[in-house]
Structure 1
């Protein structure tokens, strides 16, 4: 029989929701052992406070940390999680309640996440283990009701971005959703990985960067609306070097970036530079989509075809015609 925690309703009953969100699968202990089996006398599991202090020197340990953490460590190891590797990145695990941890594990796994998926989620975001079930329920409710994530897609969304389930709905997720909608991104469910990002710390600096290099606010909004993944790229390691190469080496018009913001998604060293140099050597200038989106074979074939047919250079009045052909 599933525990009381495992059968906690994911949503209130005032709405008809997909069965995939409300049904409970097999209890976690039926898929992952909750105890260790030894063929001989079981070893004594003792974790000294001095050892914990050495691994996490900044963590203040409670008086009962020897026995308390030992039980948690034994439980986590029984479900395939190395507690010591997690402590270094998430010291709160030391003082977290074992009952709360078990409740969280059971709650998530009864939503049809496999043991392997759960271990991967914890590896990517250890804070999941110390997040109470009462804080998890509003997140899943929000994703379904407000973001419109379907029941069949919820696992994909969480597996892709585990950090989502430790975010506060009112302070983080909902404000970010409103911001994305305000710039015209209506289908937020297609970009759920952005919901855990900070509007002030991540989104606005990127918008301001493009404004500072000459784009209007409307142009920038259009770029991010057409390609929301722009929010994920580093200004220093992505925007700056690719923008400098585009302007200085390629000598192209910024309007092309406005029309094709996906330019920033391609590798500068492995795609942009080598293809641009080959075009320069051949004396042709492809539009950005044809230059970067096509496969290597297609690009080479197009390059040879355009050269053999005397494709006009960018400085030629006929270059627009070649541009149109390249986009077909």
Structure 2
């Protein structure tokens, strides 16, 4: 295993990834939000001071093998496979063992206090955590979530990071803060409930989804209001979710696409396992239910709603029949 680790020395490291600058947003309707102009917290005012670590030492060729061996053994004690992780994130090779230990100590001791299973999951999903500078990157991300996003406790912080470990790989200035301002600008004023969106690119992911609904004929204000009502909508794929469900809604169900403005949760239901079967059941009984009733209710409630609307539809039909026809209809039903 030690020889396998050393084999990575001869492989060139990929260039460091740079986050693209956040370009100017397109115009949105004024929603009375003004981003905070307070400066970013300085290193002297960081909420969680970094643990003191010994100054980095210069690794010579003679001690490199020993350093790799120590790193391998250390991560192994944490239940982390060094070679697998190194294959996914080569910068781990040149990261000092002291830096790794500082990050692990910070994440697994109070006040953050992640368990080892939690840490292993974070590292497996975001290996950059182990090599990101603690004082200049990781701690500013934590401070940003607590102070600017409004995450109210370390418990909620742990929940947010468990749900979206990639937050720890994002730049506060070039990614997290611009996305926060965008979400607030369209009316999502409690971003602490939707921290999973902060790692999303505004121009790469969020704006294209609003643009899609504008392309359906919605105004920018209406489309933004739909995402404000149901922010999870940002997480769904345009080609894999929006398009087939809109096509089915309009083509097969014969509904107006504007129904999703009032019920954007429509896109959260499975097309094959919920939307199609329930639509077919309604067609079979000649019933048309509101989208929310059609999809949100549990199976028993849906069947009850289907029966009630079926009976009501029959009653309306009977009222339109002539009296002799009504009498014949009643006699026929009694004879069954």
Q: Same fold (TM over 0.5)?
A: yes
What 5-or-longer segments of structure 2 have no aligned partner?
Answer: 15-59, 317-336
CA contact (8 A) 2:246 2:257 kept: no
Q: Deviations over 1:135-170 (max 9, x none)?
A: 111111111111111114111111111111221111
Equivalent position SS for 1:88: helix
Q: Which has the higher contact order (CA 8 A, sep 6+)?
A: 2
* CA distance in 2 between partners of 1:243 and 1:51 (Å): 52
Question: Which moved further from structure 2: 182-191 or 159-168?
Answer: 159-168
CA contact (8 A) 2:5 2:83 kept: no
CA contact (8 A) 2:145 2:151 kept: yes
> Which of 156, 159, 164 does residue 162 from structure 2 map onto?
159
The answer as to 2:238 corresponding to 1:235 is: yes
1:144 maps to what in 2? Answer: 146
TM-score (norm 1): 0.76
* CA distance in 1 between partners of 2:220 and 2:315 (Å): 34
CA contact (8 A) 2:186 2:224 kept: yes
> Which of 211, 219, 223 does residue 208 from structure 1 map onto?
211
What 5-or-longer segments of structure 1 have no aligned partner?
Answer: 1-44, 314-328
* CA distance in 2 between partners of 1:75 and 1:214 (Å): 57
The answer as to 2:2 corresponding to 1:46 is: yes
Equivalent position SS for 1:286: coil
* CA distance in 2 between partners of 1:49 and 1:142 (Å): 36
- Output aligned runs, 1:124-135, within 5 Å: 124-134=125-135, 135=137
Q: Deviations over 1:32-77 (max 9, x none)?
A: xxxxxxxxxxxxx623456447xx96648x9676443222111101
1:104 maps to what in 2? Answer: 103
CA contact (8 A) 1:73 1:83 kept: yes
* CA distance in 2 between partners of 1:208 and 1:186 (Å): 21
1:309 maps to what in 2? Answer: 312
Q: What is the CA distance between 1:191 and its match in structure 2?
A: 0.5
Equivalent position SS for 2:124: helix
CA contact (8 A) 2:269 2:295 kept: yes
* CA distance in 2 between partners of 1:198 and 1:241 (Å): 24
Equivalent position SS for 2:88: coil
CA contact (8 A) 1:76 1:82 kept: yes
Rg: which structure is higher? 2
* CA distance in 2 between partners of 1:268 and 1:312 (Å): 32
CA contact (8 A) 1:48 1:66 kept: no
CA contact (8 A) 2:128 2:169 kept: yes
The answer as to 2:274 corresponding to 1:271 is: yes
2:200 maps to what in 1? Answer: 197
Q: Deviations over 1:283-312 (max 9, x none)?
A: 111101001111111111211222123279
